[in-house]
Amino acid sequence: MSLHAALRGNAQILLERSENSLDALFGGADNPLRHLGALGLYFLWILVATGLYLYTVLDTSVEGVYTSIGYLSREQWYLGGILRSLHRYASDAFVLVMMLHLAREWAYGRYHGFRLYSWVTGVPLIWLVYISGIGGYWIVWDRLAQFSAIATTELLDWLPFFTEPTARNFLAPDSVNDRLFTVLVFIHIGVPLMLILGLWAHVNRISRVDYLPSRRVMLATLASFLALALIKPALSDAPANLALAPAELRLDWFFLFIHPLTDVTSPAAVWALLFGATILLFALPFLPHLKAQPIAVVDAANCNGCSRCHADCPYEAVTMAVHPGKRGHKIAIVDPDLCAGCGICAGSCPSSTPFRSQEKLVTGIDMPQQPVDVMRRQLETQLARLGTQPSGTTKLVVFGCDKGADVRGLAAADTAAISLLCTGMLPPSFVEYALRGGADGIVVTGCRDGGCDFRLGMQWTQERLAHQREPHLRSLVPQDRLRLVYASRSESRQLAAAIDEFRTQLETQTAISNRPPAYSRRTPHHG
């Protein structure tokens, strides 16, 4: 195993355990680690809203810029001061979730293949965030802004792009004029607009993007920012004075860490680190990694153009086109560059039902590495084995996910276990087919809420089994013989415990239903 793979594996284990722990506190829907992208977008909208107000009161003259911003904290603390603090804390939070999102996607190996486009378009956004953030500190024009401006221009002067040193523009008090702040405001507004455009490109090939976290998470984070704004409001340092060297500054380490780093190393070392890290991030998708899964295959004769696969694909890999052999009908088309090989489309296809009388089950869309016909034959073989168990044995069938808790180790004399590419690949009719074939109960398991490796697999499965999404489980199937269990890769023991609990529940129900009716004696009538 390479060093990169070992590091990524350890990071994945750490993240998964952290996510599972937070699930116990908040649940999957409110777990911040499972919705980092949505949190980042939420923080961005807070930044935009608060920034628009701050811009309306800003005086871009040399004499007025410091005073106009200071007015917010001193005279208008109840509105402008709070909004300024919200702007500050939301920007720091944005950087935090951005870096956590980057680390999480890397740890789970989500940076190559069909995810290449999202990864590559996300890397430049980091530069845009820091350009906008550092420039925003300059606008305040206090001692911290002075320090950052001089340190940044000295760092830029090391590059061979500038014919004259830019740092000398901050060496004397008369070297700064009103045009500087006009340019800074233009950059501080223009770069975020580029960032929003870049974010659109970043999620352009993903369907049903998680644009905002849950309402509870939004309210909780907003309340936290408001509390920080009241307890520790964002304040300006002393006004900038280019005749003096700033001292005892309160650095924002989320944005301005680069300045102390330059002091302890050198501009050459910092640029080598920044450019090296950027090149590495761009190169990661092209390093050796696991072979990509085969893509979905459409069978024109069996595709009726219902477009369910198009609606359910998490990565917009399936589009609809005119059917070549059926006039007035459509056919699914799979984009090989976008297909994740998850099989969710096969689970959505109405022809993927095991009740069809074909000797070889051919569906409208299928996965060559695990065809629905193979799933049916595998299920029939295991049901036949379960049928040899003594009468009274509670027989279970477990459908699992290759990306979740391993179900193969659960196979036993009274338990059949079938692992799928993704739980979303399971056609709901297989549940009914297994029950009719002699199973006493069905367990469907997959990744935790918000942790699906293919984003929507468990969500679609839950909705299909709950009669909320087509194709759905028929209402005649008794729900008490079906159990849906969320379990991540590291939760095989928890899954086994949930299955044992379900088995006990089924046995108790069977015992109650087989109990003979109690003898009822008529009460004598006294008249």
DSSP assignments along 463-480, one per residue: HHHTTSSSS---TTS-GG
Rounded-to-integer distance, Cα 169 and Cα 177, Å: 10
What's the token pair of residue 200?
């659109």
Rounded-to-integer distance, Cα 169 and Cα 162, Å: 13
What's the token pair of residue 276?
């090296």
Taking residue 55's Cβ as centre, other Cβ atoms within 10 Å add up to 13
Residue listed under structure tokens 């939420």: 42
The greatest distance separating any two alpha carbons of the chain, rounded to the nearest whole angstrom, comes to 119
Q: Which pLDDT does position 519 carry in this prediction?
A: 42
Residue listed under structure tokens 């040899």: 388
Q: Which pLDDT does position 517 carry in this prediction?
A: 53
Read off the pTM: 0.89
Rounded-to-integer distance, Cα 100 and Cα 419, Å: 31
Cβ atoms of 364 and 299 within 8 Å: the answer is yes
Q: Which pLDDT does position 200 carry in this prediction?
A: 94
Q: Which pLDDT does position 379 carry in this prediction?
A: 96
Calculate the CA 43 to chain-centre distance. 16
Helix (H) or strand (E) holding 253: helix 253-256
β-strand partners of 397: 416, 442
Query: What residues does each domain of the chain span?
Result: 26-286, 297-513
Three-class secondary structure of residue 515 per DSSP: coil
Rounded-to-integer distance, Cα 343 and Cα 348, Å: 9
What's the token pair of residue 183?
């340019």
Q: Which pLDDT does position 28 carry in this prediction?
A: 87
* Nearest alpha-carbon partner for 222 in 449, 37, 33, 45: 45
> What top-level class would CATH report for the domain 26-286?
mainly alpha
Q: Digits of tens for pLDDT over the chain (527 positions)? A: 578 888 988 999 999 999 999 998 998 889 999 999 999 999 999 999 999 999 988 888 888 899 999 898 888 888 999 999 999 999 999 999 999 999 999 999 999 999 999 999 999 999 999 999 999 999 999 999 999 999 999 999 898 876 677 776 776 667 788 888 888 999 999 999 999 999 999 999 898 898 899 999 999 999 999 999 999 999 999 998 888 888 788 899 999 999 999 999 999 999 999 999 999 999 999 988 878 889 999 999 999 999 999 999 999 999 999 988 888 889 999 999 999 999 999 999 999 999 998 889 999 999 999 999 999 999 999 999 999 999 889 999 999 999 999 999 999 999 999 999 999 999 999 999 999 999 999 999 999 988 899 999 999 999 999 999 999 999 999 999 999 999 998 899 999 999 999 999 999 987 777 665 544 333 334 33
Rounded-to-integer distance, Cα 100 and Cα 280, Å: 17
